[in-house]
Amino acid sequence: MSAETETQQAGETPAPGISRETDMLFRRGFVFIRGVPSMKFLPPEGPHEVAFAGRSNVGKSSLINALVRHKGLARTSNTPGRTQELNYFVPDGYSGKDGDLPPMAIVDMPGYGFAKAPKPQVEAWTKLVFDYLRGRVTLKRVYVLIDSRHGLKEIDEEVLGLLDKAAVSYQIVLTKADKIKAPALTKLVEETAKKIVRRPAAFPVVLATSSEKGWGLDELRMAISTAVEYEPAR
Ligand SMILES: Nc1nc2c(ncn2[C@@H]2O[C@H](COP(=O)(O)OP(=O)(O)OP(=O)(O)O)[C@@H](O)[C@H]2O)c(=O)[nH]1
Ligand SMILES: [Mg+2]
């Protein structure tokens, strides 16, 4: 059974298919360009960005690696608190000089909530994440990742509240869908969609993914290329 078929059986809306342009974009290879430890090290606002947010260990870095088909590009770990900076990834092949900027950037973020690291350090990352989410003009959409085994927690609701207040568009992405049974996943997608229905900045469709099994990746690739208004060079 193909990954797509399995995802559909899990009750998701059928994958809409991926456009040739978006497929090419995610196949060309992405590179790491910068780790940002605090706001003053952010690159100048340029290409449209999407960011991956979520509690520590929810699978943000793994999902980025799966999307760009590059294991080990973003560092992953069993220990919550692996990603400690805002890490910028862009499609390969652009010099970054004027007139040759990449068409988009993906930003991997430190997790919020519990992490195996000293408290002051965790507080500093959390502040960085919150400041970045509130104040970045070129940030076109935030993917808020939720572990399928846990659902929306209080701290997630807090982040959604912050994004609603700052009018930053976001979409919920369930991760590790391989860890729960198909009927439970269907139920969780529905319940989560209901919980965000009145949130002004929420994109109404909840995506379900598994980086391990490759589920839901094309849908997320399409969502990202739409969010950054990707237009291939003619
Ligand atoms: N079964 C399963 N495990 C996953 C999946 N995605 C990630 N994991 C595992 O979850 C753990 C955390 O993954 P990361 O990608 O490092 O999570 P993160 O959200 O980037 O974590 P921090 O950077 O610490 O906030 C790793 O052990 C991954 O192998 C998935 O789709 N399925
Ligand atoms: Mg990480």
Report pLDDT digits (tens) over 110-148.
Answer: 998 877 778 888 888 888 999 999 989 999 999 999 999
Low-confidence ranges of the chain (pLDDT < 70): 1-16, 234
Residue 91 CB partners (closer than 8 Å, separation 6+): 25, 28, 29, 30, 31, 102, 103, 104
Q: Which residues are found with C-beta within 5 Å of the ion, ligand 2?
A: 60-61, 82-83
Angle among Cα 156, 131, 69 to the nearest 5 degrees reads 65
Residues in a beta bridge with 58: none
For residue 26 the two structure tokens come to 């995610």
Best mutation site among 56, 76, 86, 215 for ligand 1, i.e. most ligand atoms within 8 A of its Cβ?
76
Domain locations along the chain: 3-227
**Ligand 1 atom with least separation from CA of 213:** 31
Residues in a beta bridge with 34: 88
The span from the CA of 145 to the CA of 42, in Å, is: 23
Ligand at minimal distance from the CA of 125 is 1
Asked if ipTM goes beyond 0.95, one says yes
The span from the CA of 234 to the CA of 232, in Å, is: 6
> Where does 3-227 sit in CATH, by number?
3.40.50.300
Ligand at minimal distance from the CA of 175 is 1
Question: Hey, is 105 helix, strand or coil?
Answer: strand
Q: How far is the CA of 77 from the centre of ligand 2 (A)?
A: 7
Amino acid at 42: L
Q: How far is CA 75 from CA 32, 40, 59, 157, 197, in A?
A: 11, 23, 11, 26, 34
